[in-house]
Amino acid sequence: MSEAVQHDWQRRSLRAVWHPCTQMARAERVPPLPIARGEGPWLYDHQGRRYFDANSSWWVNLFGHADPALNAAIKHQLDTLPHVMLAGCTHEPAVRLAERLSARTGGVLGHLFFGSDGASAVEIALKQSFHSWRNRGRDTKREFVCLKNGYHGETIGALAVTDVAVFRDAYDPLLMQAHIVTSPDQRLGNEQQALDDLRALLSERAHHVAAVIVEPLVQGAAGMVMHAPSYLRQVRALCREFDVHLIADEIAVGCGRTGTFFAWDQVAPASAQDWPDFLLLSKGITGGTMPLSLVLTTDEVYQAFWSDDVARGFLHSHSYTGNPLACAAANAVLDRFDAGQLTANQQQAGLLTAAFAPLASHPQVSHLRQRGTILAFDVTTKVERFSERFHLAAREHELLIRPIGQTVYLMPPYLIDEGAAAFLAGAVQASLEEVLHAA
Ligand SMILES: *Cc1c(COP(=O)(O)O)cnc(C)c1O
């Protein structure tokens, strides 16, 4: 296939497709990469060039592209029952998925509500938290607390608990005002300050606060900002002390990403009291095949809606709620974890650690950090539009990667062997040198 075909798709796309997270005027200069097909960690363009999908296509693709087992599960479901509404009906893939995820929380988060994208799961959790307090006669509790630089999606409610200026500022007049507290950042060693800040807020406002929302262990869109499980354990305790819900947004970090199935597993929950009140999954749960999101919650929240009065129920829905194809894909993802995926993930994390270790001594690299198969480092440079330049340089090294500001990160599919780790480290290093020397 030729360069002409490649350019034709770019031209037609720029004319007809409004691309996400993109200033379209800029896209004219950095046209989208037309991808013809995917196989394993590789994406292929129309010229036969290949690119290693180092960010798992926005963190969703766990087992590579066109994984045979996931595809087979979806194809089987497609021939059986592609969709049925989940109000008034139910189906095996949804029931099995709910039971299996509940079991992974020891039954503590035993009620599963389905959404479609990550942002819809956030909306659902915010609404359920508020409405459950209201049903229990606590209707002053209608405010939310989120962390500095936190990201929870881009619909109006989710954006209100998101603190990323470029996504949020234009819509600020439309958004409910959330409380933003210090985010723990291992680079700053500020865990205690973050906890003190939250305690101070809750001491004053708990009567009005419905929930605190956090991204456990890694604040992804902030630039892979990491903190320790000890922070989460204490946030859990604070939320209990002040009678405020805790929402764990594991949309990015769930499904084995940080080395355990849930990031929250690293808090080592020993009793029901140690779990969050809500746990959200999306992105990886279908291995990058179908849009699906999930809100897991407790019996306590669920019971607050239990009534003969319809209006006390949670009447939220989306047309594709609990889509069987998506649930079948998610069940196939869970099959992988039942078959020992976490052991593989831990080995792969070790390979990444070893391959990237030499970067730590690079004079313009700082804070090389890792949680499971998320690896990141910060680059000190005055090069303008570093992220865009790095992305373009990396393409020439068969690497698809999009730094966040001056943070370069990898969140690759769970297909890392020694060769892949060496390839990634080599391609990152080469791209980095080219961008730095262009300065
Ligand atoms: C991506 C993300 C979301 C939003 O998910 P979408 O599917 O993009 O709506 C919410 N929270 C976190 C932590 C995310 O990384």
Q: Is position 141 annotated in a ligand binding site?
A: no
* Alpha carbons 358 and 353: distance in angstroms, whole number: 10
Tokens of 106: 């020891």
Q: Is position 318 annotated in a ligand binding site?
A: yes
Q: Which residues pair with 213 in a beta bridge?
A: 247
Q: Which atom of ligand 1 is nearest to the CA of 120?
A: 9
Q: Is position 75 annotated in a ligand binding site?
A: no
* Alpha carbons 383 and 389: distance in angstroms, whole number: 9
Does the pLDDT of residue 178 top 90, yes or no?
Answer: yes
Residues 18-46, mean pLDDT to the nearest whole number: 93
Q: What's the CA-to-centroid distance between 153 and ligand 1, angstroms?
A: 5
pLDDT value for 324 = 98
Q: Which of 114, 282, 374 most suits a substitution to test ligand 1, by most atoms within 8 Å of the C-beta? A: 282
Tokens of 276: 């969050």
Residues 162-176, mean pLDDT to the nearest whole number: 96
Q: What is the mean pLDDT of the chain?
A: 97
Does the pLDDT of residue 157 top 60, yes or no?
Answer: yes
Contact, 373 vs 345, CB < 8 A? yes
For ligand 1, residues with CB inside 6 Å are 117-119, 122, 151-153, 215, 220-221, 249, 251-252, 282-283
pLDDT value for 29 = 84
Q: What's the CA-to-centroid distance between 147 and ligand 1, angstroms?
A: 15
pLDDT value for 1 = 54
pTM of the model: 0.98
Q: Is 214 helix (H, G, I), strand (E, B) or coil?
A: strand
Q: What is the DSSP string of 258-308?
A: TSSSSGGGGG---SGGGS-SEEEE-GGGGTTSS--EEEEE-HHHHHTT-SS
Q: Is position 199 annotated in a ligand binding site?
A: no
Residue 109: its H or E element:
none
pLDDT band at 438 (very low <50, low <70, confident <90, very high): confident
Q: Which of 116, 154, 251 most suits a substitution to test ligand 1, by most atoms within 8 Å of the C-beta? A: 251
Q: Which residues contact 356 (CB under 8 A, 6 or more apart)?
A: 368, 370, 375, 377, 424, 425, 428
DSSP conformational letter for 44: E
pLDDT value for 103 = 98
Domains (range + CATH), the chain: 33-66+341-438 (3.90.1150.10), 68-339 (3.40.640.10)
Q: What's the CA-to-centroid distance between 115 and ligand 1, angstroms?
A: 12
β pairing state of 143-147 and 179-181: parallel
**Helices 229-241 and 191-205: crossing angle, nearest 10°?**
10
Q: What's the CA-to-centroid distance between 118 and ligand 1, angstroms?
A: 4
Does the pLDDT of residue 222 top 60, yes or no?
Answer: yes
What radius of gyration, in Å, describes the C-alpha atoms of the chain? 22
Q: For residue range 278-294, list pLDDT tens digits in order.
A: 999 999 999 999 999 99
Residues 364-393, mean pLDDT to the nearest whole number: 97
Q: For residue range 228-266, list pLDDT tens digits in order.
A: 999 999 999 999 999 999 999 999 999 999 999 999 999
Tokens of 124: 């659902």
* 189 φ/ψ sector (left φ>0, alpha ψ -120 to 50, else beta): left
Contact, 286 vs 330, CB < 8 A? yes
Q: Which atom of ligand 1 is nearest to the CA of 215?
A: 13
pLDDT higher at 27 or 171: 171
Residues 30-49, mean pLDDT to the nearest whole number: 95
pLDDT value for 356 = 98
Q: Which residues contact 346 (CB under 8 A, 6 or more apart)?
A: 259, 372
Contact, 120 vs 293, CB < 8 A? yes
Percentage with pLDDT > 70 across the chain: 100
